[in-house]
Structure 1
């Protein structure tokens, strides 16, 4: 199954669980575009260096909240779920899990869009 779409992610960090929504879009020329939104702070950032090979997805993003970090994600898509790790430099990797967003999915926390 394609990595393309919207994903609700949970990143299990040393500062607690962080919730994000990631959008991945494939262009006809094979280039991928993406963005991420922190669901607590509302910070939106572009994704860079997006690579999709089979069920493997990697990308980079920089955030400023809850602290300034440069993150590298390495994920595996399995149908409408994904899992993997996010790393920030030399810090230990944080577990990432996620589910594809469908038009009937509630927002994290229960409210329907």
Structure 2
């Protein structure tokens, strides 16, 4: 079972302020499927990879958004219980700190 499974509230600290979005991760027979909702749009996550590490479960994914800007994002986080932390990156832009908390299992 993937520890990322569930619904999460993620916060991304960007130069224009903190952005919040809801992420839903589902474990379907060992395959993770997920989507994100925020800013008036819902997008599917792609290239989701999860592996166990000494610090928790390491999870990475890609996501394309159109609001507030059209961006291709890459996330890299570590899940520890009902919390996660890591970073996202949009192309050549600086890395953005990401934190999150599970709101439902």
Equivalent runs, 1:23-42 vs 2, <5 Å: 23-28=24-29, 30-38=30-38, 41-42=39-40
- Provide the residue aligned with 1:97 in structure 2: 99
> What RMSD in Å do the two structures reach over aligned CA positions?
1.3
Deviation digits for residues 52-109 of structure 1 (CA, Å, limit 9, x no counterpart)? 1111000000000000000000000011000000000111100000000138xxxxxx
**Which aligned segments of 4 or more residues in structure 1 are displaced greater than 2 angstroms?**
none
Counterpart Cα distance in 2 of 1:60 and 1:15: 21
Structure 2 gaps, min length 5: none
Q: Which has the higher contact order (CA 8 A, sep 6+)?
A: 2
Q: For structure 1, which runs of at least 5 residues remain unmatched after alignment?
A: 104-113
Instruction: Output the TM-score relative to the length of structure 2.
Output: 0.91
Larger radius of gyration: 1
Could you tell me which residue of structure 1 aligns to residue 58 of structure 2?
56
Alignment: residue pair count? 100
TM-score (norm 1): 0.84
CA displacement 1:19-39 (0-9 Å, x = unmatched)? 0000111111x221000001x
In structure 2, distance between residues paired with 1:31 and 1:2: 12
